[in-house]
Amino acid sequence: MTVRLALSSAQTGVWVAQQLDPDDRSFNIAEYCDIEGPVDRALFETALREVVAATPALRARFGLGEEGLCQDIDDTVDVPLLYEDVSAEPDPRAAAERRMRLDLTRAYDLAAGPLFTWALFKAGPARYFWYRAAHHAVVDGFGLSLVAAHVADVYTALATGRPRRPRPPGTLAEAVAADSAYQESPEFEADRRYWLARMAGHTEVASLADRQPPPTRTFVRHAGHLGPGDVDALRAAARRLEVTWPEVVLAAVAVQLHRATGVREVVLGLPVTGRTGPMLRRVPAMLTNTVPLRVTVTPDRTFAEVVADLSVRLEEAVTHQRYPQERLVRELPGLPDGRKQFGPDVNIMSFGFGSGYAGHPATVHNLAAGPVEDLTVNVYDRLDGQGLQVSFDGNDGLYDRTDLAGHLDAFLGLLRSVPDLLEGRALGPAAAR
């Protein structure tokens, strides 16, 4: 039996954007898990089928019904686990990643489905790569992490005989209903008033590029790593400032943009989960939103003062996080050069993926996190004690790999210098541009 649901506002935004460019692959999100141990292929496929049966979002397809845009949740969707042995390749990881990136170039059919892909690559007797990809209309990054954790739990139960963990309550239908109720609530209008007031008078976009971003379907990426020792120092600095480490990271991005551009009212795009209650945090779905984070950065300010200002603004932004980005951008006055109101996005993802697969540890590697208009700074804390993964995704009409390498190196250097920045010195003048 097929169940018909409305769409969340986040899903609607993705669907509309995809209809404007049906061949755009930038809404494909993907990552893979490097499993350090043997994987029973048959049991793994059984686990995947069980998780799909329990996850309505993975069985969705989209269309227009009598009441408008809708998603139909099919009773059953059978997506086979693609399997390939790359262990004989000179570099098994590189070979597997080539296959994964090739898969990312295909477009999903939103009307037909299915809108996700699984693949398992054997790199050796005790090393496997589990690739998972989906269209952003069905799940966001947080939702994909919930799916991955569920798969890990079911596979481990099948492989070891231990009971499955109880599944917490919460359904896609409840998540969609909560989103619809929000749009009819006084909170919706209060959030609208807050954002229009907060963004009033904003006239400059701070970007590491010197021109307007052209439309693009692809991005270039440069990735790096902040080691455990540097992360410990970052966390210590955050404790000293009585904030969280993500707030320090956000402040560092704002400072880097100010130093590069001279812009004093820096606006960052802040992806948020859109999950404001326990039920929503348990549901794999597409609920994420992006809100503007406006921060004052001037040469006479100290880094600690920037962090303090940002902390206040961040708390406000999270409080009002559900107001849809697409609607806000339409309602804000346009900038003289036609850019959107937000600057680079900073996507901080701090969540793990369960306790491994039948006792074997696993490391997650992101491949694509969604569209990139200008620049997206991705920071991943997998809660594994291995530091932070940091990547700069740039619009390929604005940046090349050399550009991104320079910007990322500067950013990592800035993060490592945070303890020194707390000595109270003013930031000083921005670089000439």
Predicted confidence (pLDDT) per residue in 373-389, tens digit: 899 999 998 777 789 99
Cis peptide before 271 (omega within 30 of 0): no
- Using one digit for the tens of pLDDT, what is the confidence trace for 154-207? 999 999 999 998 888 889 999 999 999 999 999 999 999 999 999 998 888 899
Domains of the chain: 3-172 (3.30.559.10), 174-421 (3.30.559.30)
Q: What is the pLDDT of residue 1?
A: 81
Q: Give the integer Cα–Cα distance in Å for 258 and 118.
A: 42
Long-range contacts of 193-202 (CB under 8 A, 24+ apart): 194/316, 194/320, 194/323, 195/291, 195/292, 195/320, 195/323, 195/328, 196/331, 196/332, 198/292, 198/294, 198/316, 199/267, 199/292, 199/294, 199/328, 199/332, 199/341, 202/265, 202/267, 202/294, 202/332, 202/341
pLDDT at 42 over 70: yes
pLDDT class of 66 with cuts at 50, 70, 90: confident
The mean pLDDT value of the chain amounts to 93
- Using one digit for the tens of pLDDT, what is the confidence trace for 218-243? 899 999 999 999 999 999 999 999 99
pLDDT at 429 over 80: no
Closest listed residue to residue 321, CA positions, set 290, 280, 287, 283: 290
Using only C-alpha atoms, the chain has a radius of gyration, in whole angstroms, of: 22
Q: What is the pLDDT of residue 193?
A: 98
Higher pLDDT, residue 429 or 57 = 57
Q: Give the integer Cα–Cα distance in Å for 405 and 209.
A: 14
pLDDT at 432 over 60: no
pLDDT class of 337 with cuts at 50, 70, 90: low
Q: Give the integer Cα–Cα distance in Å for 188 and 395.
A: 32
- Tell me what the mean pLDDT of segment 70-92 comes to: 95
Question: pTM of the prediction?
Answer: 0.92
pLDDT class of 353 with cuts at 50, 70, 90: low
- Sequence-separated (6 or more) residues with CB below 8 Å from residue 342: 205, 267, 268, 269, 290, 292, 329
Q: What is the pLDDT of residue 49?
A: 97
pLDDT class of 215 with cuts at 50, 70, 90: confident
- Tell me what the mean pLDDT of segment 306-328 comes to: 96
Alpha helices, H only, 242-364: 245-261, 303-319, 325-331
- Using one digit for the tens of pLDDT, what is the confidence trace for 256-304? 999 999 999 999 999 999 999 899 999 999 999 999 999 999 999 999 9
